[in-house]
Amino acid sequence: MSNLKQYEEAIVYYNSGLRIKSLPIFSSNFHYEFLKEVKESFLDLNSLKEMAVKNRWRLSSDWDINATIKEEVIVVTDAKLTIVFASHNMVKMNGYLVKEVLGKSPKMFQGQVTDRIVSNEINLAIQSQQAFEKTVLNYKKNGDIYACLIKGYPIFNLKGQLTHYIAFEKAA
């Protein structure tokens, strides 16, 4: 216990000798943004877990959602391909807020330059309930085009019935 007190006293002594006594304002903004990001990732993860339990998903061991949720956008659709979940970091990738995409089709991100051959390959994989990995040209909310790497997987419940699709997306 004595060592800890000496350590604290040494820190106080060191800091009292510094010319700068406070943190720059931008550092608190940085800290706030970091905490906000952690909180939103935690909420996204909890929402996904609740959805998995409610729908009795049989999850793949290939998905490391805990690590992925911080670096990639996760989109979940129902079996009819209506978006029912999108991770908060979608806004960083394409400018859309979660509330703007819920209830819509992932085709909302496609446009004139989106490769129809790649779109058809994705549709065939979805129809045959197979996983896929494709890079597509999508549109941001502001109209800019970006390459998006999509890893999509069908999700089945414990009875083996298709319930949802999950996609892990990142700018390519």
Angstrom distance (rounded) from CA 61 to CA 34: 29
Paired with 69 in beta bridges are: none
CA 112 to centroid of chain Cα atoms:
26
C-alpha pair distances (Å), 155 with each of 12, 21, 34, 65: 55, 54, 32, 14
Residues 6+ away with beta carbon under 8 Å from 161: none
pTM: 0.78
Selected residue with higher pLDDT from 68 and 120: 120
Which residue type, as a one-letter code, is found at position 26? F
Angstrom distance (rounded) from CA 170 to CA 150: 7
Query: pLDDT tens digit string along 129-159?
Result: 999 999 999 999 999 999 999 999 999 999 9
